[in-house]
Chain A
Amino acid sequence: MQQDESSRIFRNHPSVIVGHILTMVVILAVIMFSLMKDELAEYVIETLSVFAVLVFLIFLMSFFYWKRTFYIFTDTELHVTRSAIAKTDKHIQYTRMASVGVSRTLLNRVFGTSTLTFNVNSSMNAQSAEAVLILKKDMADRLRDQLNSLIFDKDNTVQQDNDIETLVHVSNADVVAHAILGQPTYQAFFGLLMLFYAVVMLFYDNRGGLLTAVLLFALSEILPFVTAIFRYYNYRIFRVGDTITVESGLITTRRRSFKINKINSVRIREPLFARIIGKAMLEAEVVGMADDENNMPLLCPLKSKSDVSTLLYQLVPELAFDSKPERQPRRALIPMLITNTVLSLIIAVVLVVLFFTADSYLTGVSETWVLIVRSSEVFFAIAIPVLIFGHTGMAQRHRTFDVGENSFMFVYGGYDTATEFINYDKVQFASVSSGPLQRAFGVAVCSVNMMSSTGYRQISSGLFEPDDLERVSEEVMARIRDGRYDYRKYY
């Protein structure tokens, strides 16, 4: 078999071999230097020879696989065939494809290539692409033009897609704001706590503690901040027919397209600090389209709530509906308060006991350290119950529930809230459950399970009348019975 663009038979660009070799060189170098750093100086020639032989073997393997792997795009399916050590034939029906992604990494730019990724709507392989193809950029663009009509019934060329106005204008300043305020509150809080701890360690000249605190601060705050900026820079989103396309990226640019029928749910997420300044973000659950951190794909970085709401209705009117939501009943507050009182009491008692018995376990340490530990115990004995009750108050205020024609809505969370519109037809099964306290006050929780970008996911409502919550599963069944659910719509 030979590469033949006119017959839509492709082979990866040879740069894929360079990518493999570079990756393996780095891994081998790390392994060899970490395992044998003391012996390396003594056996430099031998080490380098082993290194060279291993790299050569990897080159041979990569070349062999590259030469014998072909991607054939027929009118109905993508056929990946490889006759290397084992023979592999993979057939991916276009109807089963959830999304097609295009990305350009630094290596892609050096070689003038693009990486195409093909994801199937399946919970089994949700976290990794079913097929990855690297082609010269112009060839990849030509193939995408053809795939647009084959997979997405779109007549647009890549050039025409580039000229489409984005549905929401996201400035790079918005992206920076998103990187700072878009993190979950607990993560931001943990980062700030680590920063405070680092300052204390610096003050007491404790290098080990300082290093740990700085590392944890970097992992929880700096890394997500930098990653978000690199990922969402130059953000654009548009919809052509039933296909939504999202593109962004600073160094590695990504463009991913998916059909509207592959969306299970859309979610307006409002972390606490973002909500305080009236901002929200829009995400979608699309199976086969998780990002590198396995988060839900972002449809809109942090913007004003009105912008996000407008975008929701423009982008996915099939799922959004004007809601007159049912608020969590006031009586639901009582079981929540009783549970939280018990939990807070246990935590406070443990911390108070630790405070009064500190002399027994803080032996042989400096007075400063004793002061830090004891003041932390007092601080957390007050702060944790305050946070728990604060969460209850916020949850009671925000939790709502509503049912629409094609979807239903759960608003959940406490400090960070989310408004999620869930397609009835994507619910795999539903449960209504209640604990003894909840039963005493006539409330229950509804949980729905559905496929997600990371396997499967459960979404739970607040506390509502059990009969109201049962409407979700009744409507799921009613749609199956009366034919409003048509499996062909989701192929």
Chain B
Amino acid sequence: MKDGKSSLFKVDENGLTSDGYSVLDRSCLKSMYVSRAIAVAVTAVVFYLIIDYAESQGWYPEETRFWLDVLFVVLVVYMAISPLVFYKRYRYRMDDDKIDIRKGILYITHDMVPIERVHQVDVKVGPVNRAFGLADVGITTAGGQINIQFLKEDVAEEIATKLNDKIVRMLKERV
């Protein structure tokens, strides 16, 4: 079973797993760590400013501080481990008629979007992702949006172009 599970993530010379999924580039880890480090720093500043003020006002007993520190350490540990798990589990696949995404850290999700339902495709590049040459592909349907995250920019553009072409071809066939 263990071998079976680990083989799901073995990538062949085309960068695909045995069941035809693509995995993320390792550079996504850097982007995730940088964004999480920024999030942790901002949270720490806000969190401890509030706590120090509350303590100075005597709003809660002193021993509560210990548990708040524990909570913060748990958060930091989660932020440190979660990118690795996210990277290990993230897989995506685009067939002729559907997009499959398998992802998750604590909760593992399998999303399936029929291309027939896609209304709009866009490539989104945030400041941290840009620094590492990464981008997300946003796939909008009438029922909400799904993203393929942390792709190399050229891969994201290629997927978006392919998807757009498929949608345009489908719409032309209907006219």
Contact = CB atoms under 8 A, between A and B. Distances in A.
Interface of B: 61, 97-98, 104, 106-114, 116-117, 141-144, 146, 174
Nearest to B99: A429
Interface stretch (A71-79, A249-257, A432-440): A432-440
Interface in A149-188: none
A439 B109 CA distance: 11
B143 A427 contact: yes
Interface in A91-143: 122-123
Nearest to B101: A431
A324 interface: no
Given A428-B143, A429-B144, A473 B112 contact: yes
B174 A487 contact: yes
A430 interface: yes
Nearest to B59: A361
A433 B108 contact: yes
Interface stretch (A192-200, A267-275, A476-484): A476-484
Contacts of B107: 433-435
Nearest to A437: B106
Contact of B141 (A428, A457, A458): A428
Contacts of A476: 112, 114
Contacts of B146: 429
A436 B85 CA distance: 13
Contacts of B117: 427-429
Nearest to B174: A487
Interface residues of A, number: 29
A430 B112 contact: yes
Contact of B110 (A428, A431, A451, A477): A431
Interface string A427-466: 1111111111001000000001111000011100000000
Nearest to A458: B144
Contacts of B108: 433-434, 439
Contact of A456 (B104, B144, B174): B144
Interface string A401-442: 000000000000000000000000001111111111001000
Nearest to B146: A429
Given A428-B144, A458-B144, A480 B116 contact: yes
A307 interface: no
B146 to A, nearest CB: 6
B106 A436 contact: yes
A435 B104 CA distance: 9
Nearest to A431: B111
B106 A429 contact: no
A429 B111 contact: yes
B114 A433 contact: no
A457 B141 CA distance: 12
- Scoring A428, A439, A450, A451 by chain B CB atoms within 10 A of each residue's CB, the highest score goes to A428
Contacts of A456: 142-144
Contacts of A458: 143-144
